[in-house]
Amino acid sequence: MQLKPKQTPSIRQALTVAACTLLSAPAVRAQGTWELDSSLLFYSEQDRVRAIEPVVRLKKQISEDEHFALQFVADSLTGASPSGAVPTTTPQTFTSPSGNSTYNTPANEIPLDPSFHDTRGAISFDWGRPLSRESRVVYQGHVSKEFDYLSTGVGATLSWDFNQRNTTLAAGASIGYDQVNPVGGAPVGLAPMPTFPTVKATSGDSDTKQLADLLLGVTQIISRTTLMQLNYTYGKESGYLTDPYKLVSVVDAGGNPVETLYEKRPDTRARNALYWRTLSAFGKDRLDFSYRYYWDDWGLRAHTADLRYRFEFGGGHYLEPQLRYSLQSQAADFYRPFLRQGESPQYASADYRLSEMTTSTIGLKYGVATRRDGEFAVRVGYMLQTGEDHPANAPGQLANQDLFPDTKALLFQVNYSLKF
């Protein structure tokens, strides 16, 4: 019975084979091997920095388990940023980084460097391919350019699945080379800012920085609805790690600035982070929690927790509230909101980012699935940074100044993705 059709001429069968092969191949290709991800971020601090940052990521799925992606970023900043100098009861005059002009800070206000504007362009790639049935590698690289900063880097991350794909081990490494060309040259660290039109002493027009990162990670499936990731990362930076635009005030016994110095940081930094993340489904909803403990040899310590809960409303709609809390529990050893007259430390920085502080963010994301496996989403967030307004040892008039005015920022982000 089954033998009968076999007697039909084999040429017809051969033609059928050819036809089916020709027809079916493009059908699969039409499933979508390109993926476009795009985002536009608006970032706005009260009275300070504003930024617009568009990002486009284009990913090509070369085969079932190989991809290549290119990412383009533009970043445009305007506004003013705290210089590190302290406020005082009288107006202050500072020389701008270029040395060509001066700017004034009103009495009792934190000095902001108003010449803060920048445009950045960056291109990065990542290329992931299998090494065997259980392992794969992702190569990555980036070039990023600002008018005073160039950053380059390459890296690779290997991962192995085992325990019937319930466990994945990852090991990664990257190296980076950055070059900074500060406006007006790199100031000599802890040298006094000259009074205009005298030009500051510089150590050169440009300087460099080398970076190396290592990662060890494990991802474990805990249950049908929960997975966890644990990463340890180690990073080493060396070279010019100082911020050429940051200042430190030297104050007298009355807390009045007598001199302003350019900051100076050590020329090496070893960073460590333990990062733990868990994703867990509750029905259709999903919890995303991460915690990071960070420590480095500058003495900085930080605890950072991030909690997101995604409520699924059906039809591809979801709402995801987010809470992030970061506590820098220990400042860098050389963090000094101000120096006292007569002190001559080896390093000093008044950059508030190296101080004890908290950063709290509350956010909400709304997303909706669109055609072609795409998604449209909007994210809003509010970020608040608080620190020590009145350090206990602040002398004289400084005791009455707010040495750490809160930073308040609004974040607004639009995402759109599609496959084609």
Q: Select from 85, 110, 354, 403 the one that contacts another protein (CB under 8 A).
A: 354
> Does position 221 bind another protein by CB under 8 A?
yes
User: Closest distance between another protein and the C-beta of residue 195, in Å?
Assistant: 23
When the beta carbons of 16 and 100 are compared against another protein, the nearer one is 16
Residue numbers 109-138 binding another protein by CB under 8 A: 116, 118, 120, 122, 124, 133
Residue numbers 282-321 binding another protein by CB under 8 A: 286, 292, 294, 296, 300, 302, 304, 310, 312, 318
> Does position 39 bind another protein by CB under 8 A?
yes
Binding mask 250-289 for another protein (x = CB under 8 A): ---------------------xxxxx-x-x-x----x---
Q: 147-177: buried (b, 16+ CB within 10 Å) or exposed (e) per residue?
A: ebbbbebebebebebeeeeeebbbebebebe
CA 325 to CA 289: how far, in whole Å? 12
User: Closest distance between another protein and the C-beta of residue 59, in Å?
Assistant: 9
Residue 11: DSSP 8-state: H
When the beta carbons of 219 and 401 are compared against another protein, the nearer one is 219
Return the structure tokens found at 60: 């090509």
CA 153 to CA 140: how far, in whole Å? 8
When the beta carbons of 4 and 346 are compared against another protein, the nearer one is 4
Give residue for tokens 């591809």. Answer: 316
When the beta carbons of 107 and 378 are compared against another protein, the nearer one is 378
233 CB-side CA count, 13 A? 18
> Does position 144 bind another protein by CB under 8 A?
yes
CA 127 to CA 35: how far, in whole Å? 14
Amino acid identity for residue 99 in this structure:
G
Residue 377 burial class via C-beta count within 10 angstroms: exposed 0-12, middle 13-18, buried 19 and up = middle
Who's near 95: CB < 8 A, 6+ residues apart? 101, 102, 193, 194, 195, 196, 200
Pinpoint the alpha helices (H) of 146-226.
Answer: none
Q: Select from 11, 28, 253, 392 the one that contacts another protein (CB under 8 A).
A: 28
Residue numbers 80-109 binding another protein by CB under 8 A: 81
When the beta carbons of 260 and 359 are compared against another protein, the nearer one is 359
Residue numbers 233-252 binding another protein by CB under 8 A: 233, 235, 243, 245-246
